[in-house]
Amino acid sequence: MNDKVTVSTLRKYKSEGKKITALTAYDFPTAKILDECGVDMILVGDSLGMAVLGYESTIPVTMDDMVHHTKAVTKAATRAFIIADMPFMSYNISKEDALKNAARLMAEGGAQSVKLEGGIEVADTVKSIVNAGIPVVGHLGLTPQSVNQLGGYKVQGKDDKKASKLRSDAKSLEDAGICALVLECIPMDLAKEITESISVPTIGIGAGPYCDGQILVLHDMMGLTQGHKPKFVKQYANIDKIIRNSVNNYISDVRNSLFPTEEYSFTSRKSDAK
Protein backbone atom coordinates (compact mmCIF):
# COMPACT_ATOMS: atom_id res chain seq x y z
CA MET A 1 0.00 0.00 0.00
CA ASN A 2 2.99 2.32 0.37
CA ASP A 3 3.95 2.31 -3.34
CA LYS A 4 3.37 5.69 -4.99
CA VAL A 5 0.32 5.69 -7.28
CA THR A 6 1.24 6.81 -10.79
CA VAL A 7 -0.35 6.95 -14.23
CA SER A 8 0.98 3.43 -14.82
CA THR A 9 -0.64 2.25 -11.58
CA LEU A 10 -4.03 3.56 -12.69
CA ARG A 11 -3.80 1.82 -16.07
CA LYS A 12 -2.73 -1.39 -14.32
CA TYR A 13 -5.75 -1.18 -12.00
CA LYS A 14 -8.06 -0.82 -15.02
CA SER A 15 -6.52 -3.79 -16.82
CA GLU A 16 -6.81 -5.92 -13.65
CA GLY A 17 -10.35 -4.79 -12.87
CA LYS A 18 -9.24 -3.31 -9.55
CA LYS A 19 -11.47 -0.41 -8.53
CA ILE A 20 -9.80 2.98 -8.07
CA THR A 21 -10.69 5.05 -5.01
CA ALA A 22 -10.64 8.84 -5.08
CA LEU A 23 -11.73 11.68 -2.81
CA THR A 24 -11.30 15.44 -2.66
CA ALA A 25 -9.06 17.26 -0.19
CA TYR A 26 -8.16 20.92 0.17
CA ASP A 27 -5.83 21.05 3.18
CA PHE A 28 -2.86 19.32 4.84
CA PRO A 29 -4.56 17.41 7.71
CA THR A 30 -7.36 16.03 5.55
CA ALA A 31 -4.99 14.97 2.78
CA LYS A 32 -2.75 13.25 5.32
CA ILE A 33 -5.66 11.19 6.63
CA LEU A 34 -6.83 10.19 3.14
CA ASP A 35 -3.31 9.29 2.07
CA GLU A 36 -2.64 7.18 5.15
CA CYS A 37 -5.98 5.39 4.69
CA GLY A 38 -4.84 4.32 1.22
CA VAL A 39 -6.99 6.41 -1.14
CA ASP A 40 -5.55 6.04 -4.66
CA MET A 41 -6.29 9.52 -5.98
CA ILE A 42 -6.78 12.86 -4.25
CA LEU A 43 -8.43 15.62 -6.24
CA VAL A 44 -7.80 19.19 -5.19
CA GLY A 45 -11.02 20.23 -6.85
CA ASP A 46 -12.32 23.67 -7.65
CA SER A 47 -15.25 22.37 -5.60
CA LEU A 48 -13.27 24.03 -2.79
CA GLY A 49 -15.21 27.12 -3.85
CA MET A 50 -18.41 25.70 -2.35
CA ALA A 51 -16.88 23.28 0.16
CA VAL A 52 -14.54 25.63 2.01
CA LEU A 53 -14.63 29.15 0.55
CA GLY A 54 -18.36 29.84 0.71
CA TYR A 55 -18.95 30.47 -3.00
CA GLU A 56 -22.17 29.47 -4.74
CA SER A 57 -20.30 27.78 -7.61
CA THR A 58 -16.81 26.88 -8.80
CA ILE A 59 -16.63 29.87 -11.13
CA PRO A 60 -15.04 32.42 -8.70
CA VAL A 61 -12.15 30.05 -7.83
CA THR A 62 -8.82 31.47 -9.03
CA MET A 63 -5.47 30.01 -10.02
CA ASP A 64 -3.97 31.42 -6.84
CA ASP A 65 -6.65 29.59 -4.82
CA MET A 66 -5.84 26.33 -6.58
CA VAL A 67 -2.07 26.66 -6.18
CA HIS A 68 -2.45 27.52 -2.50
CA HIS A 69 -4.65 24.53 -1.66
CA THR A 70 -2.78 22.12 -3.93
CA LYS A 71 0.48 22.97 -2.19
CA ALA A 72 -1.05 22.10 1.19
CA VAL A 73 -2.35 18.76 -0.06
CA THR A 74 0.85 17.68 -1.79
CA LYS A 75 2.87 18.37 1.35
CA ALA A 76 0.74 15.79 3.18
CA ALA A 77 0.24 13.03 0.62
CA THR A 78 3.12 10.69 -0.20
CA ARG A 79 1.26 7.79 -1.86
CA ALA A 80 -1.87 9.08 -3.58
CA PHE A 81 -1.93 10.42 -7.14
CA ILE A 82 -2.65 14.14 -6.78
CA ILE A 83 -4.85 15.89 -9.34
CA ALA A 84 -5.39 19.65 -9.34
CA ASP A 85 -8.33 21.26 -11.10
CA MET A 86 -7.65 23.99 -13.61
CA PRO A 87 -10.21 26.64 -12.64
CA PHE A 88 -12.66 28.61 -14.76
CA MET A 89 -11.07 30.29 -17.81
CA SER A 90 -7.54 29.16 -16.89
CA TYR A 91 -7.29 27.06 -20.08
CA ASN A 92 -9.92 28.51 -22.43
CA ILE A 93 -8.29 31.72 -23.68
CA SER A 94 -5.19 30.26 -25.34
CA LYS A 95 -2.95 27.22 -25.32
CA GLU A 96 -0.17 29.40 -23.96
CA ASP A 97 -2.27 30.40 -20.95
CA ALA A 98 -3.28 26.79 -20.43
CA LEU A 99 0.35 25.61 -20.45
CA LYS A 100 1.43 28.38 -18.09
CA ASN A 101 -1.38 27.65 -15.62
CA ALA A 102 -0.91 23.88 -15.77
CA ALA A 103 2.80 24.40 -15.12
CA ARG A 104 1.98 26.49 -12.02
CA LEU A 105 -0.11 23.69 -10.53
CA MET A 106 2.75 21.26 -11.10
CA ALA A 107 5.76 23.43 -10.21
CA GLU A 108 4.28 25.59 -7.44
CA GLY A 109 1.49 23.32 -6.25
CA GLY A 110 3.31 20.01 -6.57
CA ALA A 111 0.44 18.20 -8.35
CA GLN A 112 1.05 15.04 -10.39
CA SER A 113 -1.64 15.94 -12.93
CA VAL A 114 -4.20 18.59 -13.86
CA LYS A 115 -7.89 18.22 -14.69
CA LEU A 116 -9.77 20.05 -17.44
CA GLU A 117 -13.50 20.10 -18.15
CA GLY A 118 -14.83 19.62 -21.65
CA GLY A 119 -14.65 17.35 -24.67
CA ILE A 120 -13.57 17.80 -28.27
CA GLU A 121 -13.47 21.58 -27.84
CA VAL A 122 -10.54 21.30 -25.40
CA ALA A 123 -8.84 18.28 -27.00
CA ASP A 124 -6.14 20.34 -28.73
CA THR A 125 -5.37 22.12 -25.48
CA VAL A 126 -5.19 18.80 -23.66
CA LYS A 127 -2.78 17.50 -26.28
CA SER A 128 -0.52 20.55 -25.89
CA ILE A 129 -0.38 20.10 -22.11
CA VAL A 130 0.30 16.36 -22.42
CA ASN A 131 3.04 17.03 -25.00
CA ALA A 132 4.65 19.35 -22.44
CA GLY A 133 4.98 16.38 -20.10
CA ILE A 134 2.02 17.12 -17.83
CA PRO A 135 -0.52 14.32 -17.25
CA VAL A 136 -4.11 15.43 -17.85
CA VAL A 137 -7.35 14.05 -16.43
CA GLY A 138 -10.47 14.76 -18.49
CA HIS A 139 -13.94 15.58 -17.16
CA LEU A 140 -17.21 14.97 -19.02
CA GLY A 141 -20.92 15.01 -18.20
CA LEU A 142 -21.95 17.57 -15.66
CA THR A 143 -19.09 20.05 -15.87
CA PRO A 144 -19.60 22.57 -13.05
CA GLN A 145 -17.68 25.39 -14.76
CA SER A 146 -20.30 25.27 -17.53
CA VAL A 147 -23.28 24.99 -15.18
CA ASN A 148 -24.88 28.19 -16.52
CA GLN A 149 -24.67 26.91 -20.08
CA LEU A 150 -25.97 23.48 -19.05
CA GLY A 151 -28.99 25.01 -17.34
CA GLY A 152 -28.16 23.88 -13.82
CA TYR A 153 -26.88 20.82 -12.02
CA LYS A 154 -28.67 18.15 -14.06
CA VAL A 155 -27.96 14.64 -15.31
CA GLN A 156 -26.27 14.83 -18.72
CA GLY A 157 -26.43 12.51 -21.75
CA LYS A 158 -30.00 11.31 -21.23
CA ASP A 159 -31.04 11.54 -24.90
CA ASP A 160 -29.38 9.81 -27.86
CA LYS A 161 -27.85 12.95 -29.36
CA LYS A 162 -26.19 14.07 -26.12
CA ALA A 163 -25.10 10.52 -25.30
CA SER A 164 -23.45 10.25 -28.72
CA LYS A 165 -21.66 13.56 -28.12
CA LEU A 166 -20.29 12.28 -24.81
CA ARG A 167 -19.01 9.09 -26.48
CA SER A 168 -17.26 11.16 -29.15
CA ASP A 169 -15.85 13.52 -26.54
CA ALA A 170 -14.43 10.62 -24.54
CA LYS A 171 -12.69 9.25 -27.63
CA SER A 172 -11.32 12.69 -28.53
CA LEU A 173 -9.86 13.12 -25.06
CA GLU A 174 -8.37 9.62 -25.14
CA ASP A 175 -6.73 10.45 -28.49
CA ALA A 176 -5.42 13.70 -27.00
CA GLY A 177 -3.60 11.71 -24.33
CA ILE A 178 -5.56 11.94 -21.08
CA CYS A 179 -4.50 9.55 -18.31
CA ALA A 180 -7.96 9.24 -16.74
CA LEU A 181 -11.50 10.52 -17.28
CA VAL A 182 -14.01 11.75 -14.71
CA LEU A 183 -17.63 11.04 -15.66
CA GLU A 184 -20.08 13.12 -13.66
CA CYS A 185 -23.85 12.74 -13.47
CA ILE A 186 -24.52 10.61 -16.52
CA PRO A 187 -26.70 7.49 -16.86
CA MET A 188 -24.90 4.37 -15.65
CA ASP A 189 -25.41 2.46 -18.91
CA LEU A 190 -23.73 5.29 -20.83
CA ALA A 191 -20.89 5.36 -18.32
CA LYS A 192 -20.48 1.61 -18.81
CA GLU A 193 -20.27 2.04 -22.59
CA ILE A 194 -17.65 4.77 -22.32
CA THR A 195 -15.65 2.83 -19.73
CA GLU A 196 -15.52 -0.23 -21.97
CA SER A 197 -14.69 1.76 -25.10
CA ILE A 198 -11.58 3.63 -23.93
CA SER A 199 -8.24 2.44 -22.62
CA VAL A 200 -7.87 4.99 -19.83
CA PRO A 201 -9.55 4.59 -16.41
CA THR A 202 -12.91 6.25 -15.84
CA ILE A 203 -13.69 7.75 -12.44
CA GLY A 204 -17.38 8.13 -11.73
CA ILE A 205 -19.31 10.58 -9.61
CA GLY A 206 -23.01 10.03 -10.01
CA ALA A 207 -22.24 7.77 -12.99
CA GLY A 208 -23.10 4.37 -11.54
CA PRO A 209 -21.12 1.27 -10.59
CA TYR A 210 -19.49 0.38 -13.90
CA CYS A 211 -16.73 3.02 -13.94
CA ASP A 212 -13.16 1.94 -13.17
CA GLY A 213 -13.22 4.00 -9.98
CA GLN A 214 -15.31 6.35 -7.88
CA ILE A 215 -14.86 9.83 -6.42
CA LEU A 216 -16.90 11.89 -3.97
CA VAL A 217 -16.46 15.31 -2.45
CA LEU A 218 -15.23 14.53 1.07
CA HIS A 219 -17.41 17.22 2.65
CA ASP A 220 -20.49 15.62 1.09
CA MET A 221 -19.77 12.08 2.25
CA MET A 222 -18.80 13.22 5.75
CA GLY A 223 -21.92 15.31 6.33
CA LEU A 224 -20.19 18.69 6.30
CA THR A 225 -22.06 20.13 3.32
CA GLN A 226 -24.88 22.53 4.06
CA GLY A 227 -28.16 22.34 2.14
CA HIS A 228 -29.04 19.96 -0.69
CA LYS A 229 -27.32 16.57 -0.83
CA PRO A 230 -27.05 15.08 -4.35
CA LYS A 231 -28.72 11.71 -4.95
CA PHE A 232 -25.40 10.04 -5.76
CA VAL A 233 -23.80 10.91 -2.39
CA LYS A 234 -23.66 8.21 0.26
CA GLN A 235 -23.12 9.91 3.63
CA TYR A 236 -20.69 7.86 5.71
CA ALA A 237 -20.69 10.12 8.78
CA ASN A 238 -22.31 13.24 10.22
CA ILE A 239 -19.31 15.34 11.18
CA ASP A 240 -21.49 18.45 11.28
CA LYS A 241 -23.39 16.99 14.24
CA ILE A 242 -20.18 15.89 16.00
CA ILE A 243 -18.61 19.35 15.66
CA ARG A 244 -21.77 21.13 16.83
CA ASN A 245 -22.07 18.87 19.89
CA SER A 246 -18.41 19.39 20.74
CA VAL A 247 -18.60 23.17 20.39
CA ASN A 248 -21.80 23.35 22.44
CA ASN A 249 -20.20 21.25 25.19
CA TYR A 250 -17.14 23.50 25.17
CA ILE A 251 -19.26 26.66 25.43
CA SER A 252 -21.20 25.14 28.32
CA ASP A 253 -18.04 24.05 30.16
CA VAL A 254 -16.40 27.47 29.88
CA ARG A 255 -19.50 29.38 30.93
CA ASN A 256 -20.04 27.07 33.90
CA SER A 257 -16.36 27.15 34.93
CA LEU A 258 -15.97 23.44 34.19
CA PHE A 259 -13.06 24.08 31.81
CA PRO A 260 -10.20 24.48 32.34
CA THR A 261 -9.79 22.48 35.53
CA GLU A 262 -6.48 21.86 37.29
CA GLU A 263 -5.98 18.89 34.94
CA TYR A 264 -5.61 21.31 32.03
CA SER A 265 -3.61 23.94 33.94
CA PHE A 266 0.02 24.41 34.93
CA THR A 267 1.07 24.23 38.57
CA SER A 268 2.84 27.12 40.31
CA ARG A 269 6.61 27.57 39.99
CA LYS A 270 8.64 25.62 42.53
CA SER A 271 10.12 27.67 45.33
CA ASP A 272 13.78 28.59 45.04
CA ALA A 273 14.16 28.31 48.79
CA LYS A 274 16.42 25.52 50.06
- The average pLDDT across 36-65 equals 96
Q: Provide the pLDDT confidence category of residue 2 given band limits of 50, 70 and 90.
A: low
- List the catalytic residues: 184
pLDDT at position 205 over 70? yes
Q: Give CA–CA dist 143/48, Å, rounded.
A: 15
**In 3D, which of 55, 141, 47 has the Cα closest to residue 87?**
47
pLDDT exceeding 70 applies to what percent of the chain?
95
Confidence of residue 227 (pLDDT cuts 50, 70, 90): confident
At 226 the pLDDT is 78
Q: Which residues are annotated as a binding site for 3-methyl-2-oxobutanoate?
A: 46-47, 85, 115
**Concatenated DSSP letters of the chain:** --SPP-HHHHHHHHHHTPPEEEEE--SHHHHHHHHHHT-SEEEE-TTHHHHTS--SSSTT--HHHHHHHHHHHHHH-SSSEEEEE--TTSSSS-HHHHHHHHHHHHHTT--SEEE--BSGGGHHHHHHHHHTT--EEEEEES-GGGHHHHTSS-----SHHHHHHHHHHHHHHHHHT-SEEEEES--HHHHHHHHHH-SSPEEEESS-TTSSEEEE-HHHHTT---S---TTPPP---HHHHHHHHHHHHHHHHHTT-SS-GGGSPPPPPP---
> In the predicted model, is pLDDT for residue 147 greater than 80?
no
Task: Report the mean per-residue pLDDT for the chain.
Answer: 95
pLDDT number for residue 230? 87
Q: What is the mean pLDDT of residues 175-185?
A: 98
The predicted structure's pLDDT at residue 1: 52
Instruction: Return the percentage of the chain with pLDDT > 90, whole number.
Output: 89
Binding-site positions for Mg(2+) read: 46, 85, 117
139: confidence class by pLDDT, cuts 50, 70, 90 = very high
Asked whether the whole model's pTM tops 0.85, one would answer yes
